[in-house]
Amino acid sequence: MRSLIALVAVAAAATIGVAAAGAVTTGKTVGVKLNEFNVLLAKQAAPAGKVVFVVKNVGKMEHEFVVLKTAKPAGDLLSHGGEASEAGNVGEIATVKPGETKKLTLTLKKGHYSLLCNLPGHYKAGQFVDFYVR
Ligand SMILES: [Cu+2]
């Protein structure tokens, strides 16, 4: 048990190190990890303006990364066929293969955003998260 805790601490430190390195030039870089079936954010908010999402697929399946500006909670977008409605789409990375890292730079206004993967079945499986621009 003690070794597990140590391992988790090391992993957390490594994650923080990566996030800090990515944020050298600006506080507006947001680290994102995709897996089955989550969108994991290094931070849940960013200041308005230019925001750089650094998206890494740490899973075993291909994923995508979709940014929607919507008042609706990320978990409340279910549309036909089990996919999310993409109303308010302000940008996306269509394909992120396992192990791949891609960047998406967007100019975002203040408000609520929903970040998700909308490949068939992935949204319904829970691959979404709320994000705020302040
Ligand atoms: Cu996915």
Reading the block at residue 91, the tokens are 């940008």
**pLDDT computed for residue 27 by the predictor:** 60
CA 32–ligand 1 middle distance (angstroms): 13
CATH 2.60.40.420 fits 27-133, yes or no: yes
Tens place of pLDDT for every residue, the chain, 134 residues?
444 444 444 444 444 444 444 434 456 999 999 999 999 999 999 999 999 999 999 999 999 999 999 999 999 999 977 899 999 999 999 999 999 999 999 999 999 999 999 999 999 999 999 999 99
Determine contact, residues 58/31, Cβ cutoff 8 Å: no
Q: Which residues pair with 41 in a beta bridge?
A: 32
Best CA proximity match to 92, nearest among 113, 71, 111, 72: 113
Residues with C-beta atoms within 5 A of ion ligand 1: 63, 117, 119, 122, 127
pTM of structure: 0.80
Reading the block at residue 105, the tokens are 């730079």
**Main-chain phi, psi angles of 95, to 5 degrees:** -140, 125
